[in-house]
Amino acid sequence: MKTSTATTATRDGDASFSLRGSLSLGSGLPRDDTTAATVAVTPTGATSLPSSSLPSPENLLLKEQIQVLIKERNSFKNAFRIQHERFSEYDEKNQELQHLKQLVFQYQEQIRTLGVNNYALAMHLKQAQQSNPFPGHFPPDVF
């Protein structure tokens, strides 16, 4: 029966794992001594063990645990990248939405101004037609 714990610390993109464990032998009785090893993991995922490493069965288990941790780390990196992309897209779309809302406000204001100007021109035209001293309609280029 084997028990082991792993702790992780990252520094400058590298990860190092301190692994402690005890290994039971074929007799079913656990060993009295506890072996400790430090494993360095580079950013590429390569591992290095000290030359005076653990016994072969425990060494294999620790390598498997390291591979699982590396896969989890890569999964978390991928998830973080996806979330970052989604947040960036959301931020861009939110900025675009704010810009479009500002344009809508400006266009609504322009429509109101044009409506007021149109009404004023219609009133001026009506007043000009009522105060025309000449009855009848004259073409504008002759008048």
Question: Does some domain include residue 138?
Answer: no
Question: Does some domain include residue 81?
Answer: yes
Distance CA 37, CA 52 (A): 9
pTM: 0.45
* Residues 93-129 pLDDT 10s: 999 999 999 999 999 999 999 999 999 999 999 888 8
pLDDT at 106: 98
Question: Does some domain include residue 141?
Answer: no
Mean per-residue pLDDT, 52-80: 90
Question: Does some domain include residue 16?
Answer: yes
pLDDT at 135: 62
Residue of 113, 136, 132 lying closest to 124 (CA atoms): 132
Q: Give Cα separations from 89 to 18, 62, 84, 86, 100 (angstroms).
A: 39, 40, 9, 5, 16
Question: Does some domain include residue 143?
Answer: no
Question: Does some domain include residue 140?
Answer: no
* Residues 25-56 pLDDT 10s: 444 444 444 444 555 555 565 555 555 555 68
Question: Does some domain include residue 136?
Answer: no
By residue range, what is the domain housing residue 111? 1-24+33-129
Q: What is the DSSP letter of 108?
A: H
Tell me how many domains the chain contains: 1
Question: Does some domain include residue 54?
Answer: yes
